[in-house]
Every structure is written in C-alpha cells, then in structure tokens.
C-alpha cells in the first residue's frame, strides 16, 4: 500500500534549500545502509539542530530492504524528537535513481525526494527521463534532483572512467524543460575514496600527503550566473579524512593513496548556490576504522555491539564535524 512521506513526518527539500542558498550554507546528505549509520546521523544532526538528508542508493535499499527502510525513516523522525528536536527536518532521498520505475517505487513508499540520474544518457534522453520522473513525483509534492555532467568513478549503476564537467550553456534549457528542483553538477568531484590519482596531485613537502587539484569553481560560478538562486548539488564530496585511513591501514587494511576533496573547498562551495553536499565514503571510512581498531585491540570480542559502538561514535564525531565546521548547517532548523 502506498504511503506518503508526510505521514511519516518527513519533509521534502524545497524550503530547506531556499534557506540554505540564502544563508550561505549547505544541507548534509549522508548515505546510510544500516542501523548504526542511521543512529549516528540522527544523533549528530539532532544534537546540532541541523536539517538532514538521509540518502539511500539502489544498492542500500536492496541491502536494508525497502519495507524496513520506510519504518527506519519513520523511526528516525521519532528518535530525533526524543533527542530534543521538536520539529526535525529530515528528508528521505533516493540517491542515483536509474529508472522511472525505481523512482516511482520510492515515491510510493515514503521517500520525500528522489534523484533521477540520467547523466550517462544522451542529453535529450536525460531530459525526457527526468521530466517523466518530475511529472510523477510532483503530484505527491516529492522533490526531484537531476544530474547534468558526468562524475568520474563508480555510481551504483552508472560508471565512468573520466569526468565531463557540466556545460553551463545547457543548464537553463535542462532545468526549464525538466522542471527538476535541484541539479547535481560535475566540477571535479568523484565518488569513492580515490578521487584523484597520485599523478593528478602534488605532495605536501611537510607531511608527504597527496594534495589534490582544486575544483572547477569557474564552472560553478558560470552555472550560478545562468541559474541564479537555483539549488545546486555536489556529489562525491567526501574529504577522506586521513586519520581514518591511517587507522584502517595500521590495523590490517590496505587503502594506499586514498584521497578526497579538501575541506576548505567544500566550505567555499557551501557558501555558494551549492545547497546539498553528498557524503558517503567518509562514513564508510569512520565505520571501518572503528571496527578494525576495536577488533585488532580486542581479539576476544565477538559481540557486534562492542565494535559497533566504537564505529558509531567515530561516525557521530565525523558527522558533527561536517555540520559545524564544513557545511555550516548547525542551528538551521526553521523552528
């Protein structure tokens, strides 16, 4: 039976994006697959009074089970209230939807926002598919994110070796003809924990760490000029904190040369029309660091709560840091 997100206490992205653009900050969009990640996201965002987007990929939805997910989202709203947020602003968003059918299924099962990712399709086909999703979703006041331009790296069903920056001359036509509510763009970010090859980076002489090249802020500025006030989304925005990479590598992991987007670039983006910043890999890293460290130090542990608790605390710290020190969404609830 179909369920509306409104009955689950969720909100769509429209109002929060308006406020974020005006206020010069970005809303965190954190991916989750399981209980500990959800607990950590809700704890961090509720304690800091931040709006938040719970983001679920097709793979995550299959992993968690679509029915269970709907109740987890409803539970997240109740939990946020318990943590002291009288009016939490929580979005349940489909990340990288790859078909009309998947988007429809999410709209019908309580999502308040969906992404249709037609970025790998020819331009006209991307428009046609996005428009179809928008027409369906808007009947239920569900907001729609679309994508123009291609990110390097692997997305659930969309993979590309190389990135193609969004063409600013296409964005007005695309946004007008599709009616999408927000637009994900490509300006040099990519998915995963290896965003740049060592050859694309320089090295910090003091630390020996890789220093990635800057994002294409000139492309972002041109897009903003073409679409003033329109909500822009940045995917692939994990910063791949080296503290977690080091812990993972110290305790048996192997993540050589993992590198992300420097935080000062994300801070700069948050002040622009970029009003949604997607973070998944950093949660995976914090989680894995907590699990590896705990199990290495306590070989006798076999209760998942023993290492799950450490992993969850690492994620809470990481999410809080993003909210307060990078995206600037602390204390930004409407009431």
Nearer to ligand 13P, 219 or 333 (CB): 219
**117 annotated as a binding-site residue:** yes
**191 annotated as a binding-site residue:** yes
Q: Enumerate residues 84-123 that contact ligand G3H by CB under 6 A.
A: 95-96
Nearer to ligand G3H, 36 or 95 (CB): 95
User: Which residue in 29, 10, 12 sits closest to 72, CA to CA?
Assistant: 10
Q: Enumerate residues 30-69 that contact ligand G3H by CB under 6 A.
A: 31, 57, 59-60
Q: Where are the alpha helices (DSSP H) in the chain?
A: 14-23, 35-47, 58-64, 66-82, 100-108, 123-138, 171-178, 217-226, 242-250, 263-270, 281-297, 304-321
Residue 327 is classified by DSSP as I
Looking at beta carbons, which residue is closest to Zn ion? Answer: 235
Say which entry of ligand G3H, Zn ion, ligand 13P, none residue 26 contacts (CB below 5 to 8 A, set by partner kind). none
Q: Please check whether residue 186 is in contact with residue 164, taking contact to mean a CB–CB distance below 8 angstroms.
A: yes
Count of residues in the chain: 335
How many other β-carbons are positioned within 10 Å of the β-carbon of residue 44?
Answer: 23
**96 annotated as a binding-site residue:** yes
Distances from the Cα of 29 to the Cα of 86, 91, 222, 229, 315, angstroms: 21, 9, 24, 19, 14
279 binds ligand 13P (CB under 6 A): yes
Q: Enumerate residues 36-65 that contact ligand 13P by CB under 6 A.
A: none
211 backbone dihedrals φ, ψ, rounded to 5°: -115, 110
278 binds ligand 13P (CB under 6 A): yes
Q: Where are the beta strands (DSSP E) in 173-226?
A: 182-185, 202-203, 210-211
**170 annotated as a binding-site residue:** no
**Residue whose entry in the numeric block shows the structure tokens 């979703």:** 137
Binds ligand G3H by CB under 6 A, chosen from 47, 108, 141, 156:
156
- Over the window 228 to 257, marking each residue x when it contacts Zn ion by CB under 5 A and - when it does not, the resulting string is -------x----------------------
317 catalytic residue (yes or no)? no
Say which entry of ligand G3H, Zn ion, ligand 13P, none residue 238 contacts (CB below 5 to 8 A, set by partner kind). ligand 13P
**87 annotated as a binding-site residue:** no
- Over the window 218 to 257, marking each residue x when it contacts ligand G3H by CB under 6 A and - when it does not, the resulting string is ----------------------------------------
Q: Kindly name the residue from 7, 95, 173, 282 that is annotated as catalytic.
A: 95
How many other β-carbons are positioned within 10 Å of the β-carbon of residue 254?
Answer: 7
Q: Which positions are annotated as active-site residues?
A: 95
Report the interface residues with ligand 13P, using CB under 6 A: 31, 95-96, 191-192, 235-238, 278-281
């Amino acid at each position: 039976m179909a369920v509306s997100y409104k009955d689950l206490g969720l909100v769509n992205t429209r109002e929060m994006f308006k406020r974020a653009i005006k206020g010069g900050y970005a809303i965190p969009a954190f991916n989750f697959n399981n209980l500990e990640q959800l607990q950590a996201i809700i704890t961090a965002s509720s304690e800091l009074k931040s709006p938040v987007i719970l983001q679920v990929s097709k793979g995550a939805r299959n992993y968690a089970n679509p029915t269970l997910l709907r109740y987890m989202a409803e539970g997240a709203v109740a939990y946020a209230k318990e943590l002291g947020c009288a009016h939490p602003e929580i979005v349940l968003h489909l990340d990288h939807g790859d078909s009309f059918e998947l988007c429809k299924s999410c709209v019908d099962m309580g999502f308040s926002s969906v992404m249709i990712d037609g970025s790998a399709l020819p331009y006209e086909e991307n428009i046609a598919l996005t428009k179809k999703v928008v027409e369906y979703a808007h009947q239920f006041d569900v907001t729609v994110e679309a994508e123009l331009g291609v990110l390097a790296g692997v997305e659930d069903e969309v993979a590309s070796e190389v990135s193609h920056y969004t063409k600013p001359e296409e964005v007005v036509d695309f946004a007008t003809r599709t009616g999408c509510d927000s637009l994900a763009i490509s300006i040099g970010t990519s998915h995963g924990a290896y965003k740049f090859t060592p050859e694309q980076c320089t090295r910090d002489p003091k630390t020996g760490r890789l220093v990635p090249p800057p994002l294409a802020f000139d492309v972002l500025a041109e897009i903003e000029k073409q679409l003033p006030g329109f909500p822009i989304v940045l995917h692939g925005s994990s910063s791949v904190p080296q503290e977690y990479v080091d812990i993972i590598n110290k305790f048996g992991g192997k993540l050589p040369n993992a590198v992300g987007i420097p935080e000062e670039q994300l801070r700069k983006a948050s002040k622009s029309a970029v009003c949604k910043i997607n973070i998944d890999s950093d949660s995976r890293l914090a989680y894995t660091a907590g699990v590896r460290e705990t199990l290495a130090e306590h070989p006798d542990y076999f209760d998942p709560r023993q290492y799950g608790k450490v992993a969850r605390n690492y994620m809470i710290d990481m999410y809080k840091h993003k909210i307060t020190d990078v995206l600037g969404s602390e204390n930004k609830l409407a009431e």
